[in-house]
Structure 1
Amino acid sequence: MRIALGVSYSGSAYEGWQSQLSGNTVQDQLELALGKFTAQPVRTLCAGRTDAGVHALMQVVHFDTPVQREIQSWVRGLNALLPHDIAVQWAREVPAEFHCRGSAIARRYAYVVLESPIRPSVEKGRVGWVFRPLDPAAMQQAASALVGEHDFSSFRAAQCQAKSPVKTMRRIDISHRGETGARYWRFEFEANAFLHHMIRNIMGCLLAVGQGAQPPQWISEVLAARNRDAAAPTFSPDGLYFLGPVYEPHHGLPSRTAAYDWLP
């Protein structure tokens, strides 16, 4: 049967999602736990690969197995075997035609950034950091130029393996908490798919606009250039969260986890 899992993790200690020879990735840890739980090798596929240091509130994976277990046992059993910073949130049996990546109609990410003259301490790794004040109106104006279908080559990492740089950005929402001088910003992105480092590169540009280094209309120039050299440097992975994929309702999969209410 085919099983889908919703998995959350703190990415600070790992070399990203995808399996590496070091074994120090989220996929390696999950497959190690699955192998112990089922007493046989298990290979997983994920909805969206994450870089080193990037967190996930609801990564969705699927795998095929002949092993029969109560659905809730997949949650309890795997969590007993996983490291403390990785946890299965839910499990569902899904039809053979379901594919965690191919069935997704969109993907969602959030960046949490601390604007403060003092660097983060207890939030280290959980938030990005800027020490200059950010202008919300300027960033929102710049972000609006990225919504819709575009060639995002200017925000694409050199090692990106996507077949096409054309993606559809469905929305970019920007909000904040706190007073000027010590504010937490949340940038939420939803698109049909993302290129490698696309969000981190967009964030570098939005923050350049927010801090007054570039005017809002500069984003349109960067987009039109279709050249990575036209954009700002890649922003730190600190504070980047994969919120999870979006599926059609008929799949019956959860769309959020409790961590959504914790994230600023």
Structure 2
Amino acid sequence: MPRYALKIEYHGGPFAGWQRQREQPSVQQAVEEALRRLDPAVGSIAAAGRTDAGVHATGQVAHADLSRDWDPFRLSAALNHHLKPAPVAILGAAAVDGNWHARFSALERRYVFRLLSRRAPATHDAGLVWQVRHPLDPDAMQAGADRLIGRHDFTTFRSTMCQAGSPVKTLDRLTVTTVPHAVGTEYRFDVRARSFLHNQVRSFVGTLERVGAGAWSPDDVTAALQARDRAACGPVCPPQGLYLADVGYPEDPFARS
């Protein structure tokens, strides 16, 4: 059966997350139902990352095995037609080798978190950012972020429900940049690693927000990391500012498309 990689964008607000769940809407279910409109024999699809309820994606990747060959452009167009009106879009499709796997072939995941600081309520970005009303110090947040780079035991920064076999991960990048925003400032956290623990990025951002607000120091981030204790973590921020932005592979399957 020919295998196709799909690059997927979605608004996570209406969904209980990526993974199919009983009696709750999921992004996986929406994509699989669209695929079955084209090919009733399609089975379950696999994704690079299982985003939680309310988390968005601009570059999720999944793969599906179909019973016949498709032109990738026609496949993405047909899927987008059948996905309406769900806030899910197929940005690209590509034929891949039968051994290629959206999850296990990936070398890197990149997440972006958007944090908006302003007193007036967010309107156009409602549900797409985490908003706080107080000012934040980006240099202090970056100093705290730097304490997390590298290979560490991230027990402090993972959910107690995390099913990963080990809390040890290598964090390759965590940068904080500012983006001018109408009557406020948006802070964007760019986080990259081969893989992540459950709630790891939201735990990072919630902790660094406390540093930016002056309630924590960068040294407190180091102490929390070294504690290897979930109770030492700062507040876990809400999901609506988090985006799965990109997935890296040895060769980009979508380069030709």
Structure 2 length as normaliser, TM-score? 0.95
- Which of 176-185 and 63-72 deviates more? 176-185
Deviations 1:128-167 (Å, cap 9, x if unpaired)? 1111111111111100011111111101101111111111
In structure 1, runs of 5+ residues without a counterpart are 258-264
How much has 1:103 moved relative to structure 2? 0.8
Distance 1:105 1:204, change over 3 A: same
Deviations 1:48-73 (Å, cap 9, x if unpaired)? 11011110001100122222222211
One-letter amino acid of the structure 2 residue matched with residue 214 of structure 1: W
173, 180, 183: which one pairs with 1:178?
180
Q: Which runs of 4+ in 1 moved over 6 A?
A: none
Deviations 1:6-28 (Å, cap 9, x if unpaired)? 01001011111000112500000
Partner of 1:27, secondary structure, is helix
Contact 1:133 1:181 survives alignment (8 Å): no
Contact 2:57 2:244 survives alignment (8 Å): yes
How much has 1:121 moved relative to structure 2? 2.1
One-letter amino acid of the structure 1 residue matched with residue 146 of structure 2: S
CA–CA separation in structure 1 for the residues paired with 2:110 and 2:26: 21
Contact 2:42 2:64 survives alignment (8 Å): no
Give the count of matched residue pairs.
255
CA–CA separation in structure 2 for the residues paired with 1:207 and 1:126: 17
Residue 224 in structure 1 maps to residue 252 in structure 2? no
198, 210, 213: which one pairs with 1:211?
213
How much has 1:206 moved relative to structure 2? 0.3
140, 143, 154: which one pairs with 2:142?
140
How much has 1:254 moved relative to structure 2? 4.3
Matches within 5 A, 1:23-34: 23-34=24-35
Deviations 1:106-131 (Å, cap 9, x if unpaired)? 10000111101223122111111111
CA–CA separation in structure 2 for the residues paired with 1:254 and 1:23: 34
Q: Equivalent residue for 2:157?
A: 155
Q: Equivalent residue for 1:64?
A: 65
Q: Taking every aligned residue pair, what percent have the same amino acid on both sides?
A: 37
CA–CA separation in structure 2 for the residues paired with 1:179 and 1:20: 37
Distance 1:180 1:133, change over 3 A: farther
How much has 1:177 moved relative to structure 2? 2.0
Structure 1 length as normaliser, TM-score? 0.92
Q: Equivalent residue for 1:202?
A: 204
Partner of 2:16, secondary structure, is coil
CA–CA separation in structure 2 for the residues paired with 1:43 and 1:179: 41
Q: Equivalent residue for 1:188?
A: 190
Residue 164 in structure 1 maps to residue 166 in structure 2? yes
In structure 2, runs of 5+ residues without a counterpart are none
Q: Equivalent residue for 2:46?
A: 45
CA–CA separation in structure 2 for the residues paired with 1:145 and 1:253: 35
CA–CA separation in structure 2 for the residues paired with 1:71 and 1:23: 30
One-letter amino acid of the structure 2 residue matched with residue 142 of structure 1: G
How much has 1:181 moved relative to structure 2? 6.4
- Which of 208-217 and 37-46 deviates more? 37-46
Q: Equivalent residue for 2:74?
A: 73
CA–CA separation in structure 1 for the residues paired with 2:139 and 2:182: 14
234, 237, 248: which one pairs with 1:235?
237
CA–CA separation in structure 1 for the residues paired with 2:192 and 2:242: 13
How much has 1:39 moved relative to structure 2? 2.5
How much has 1:75 moved relative to structure 2? 0.4
Deviations 1:71-118 (Å, cap 9, x if unpaired)? 211101100000341010111111112111111111000011110122
Contact 2:135 2:213 survives alignment (8 Å): yes
Contact 1:247 1:253 survives alignment (8 Å): no
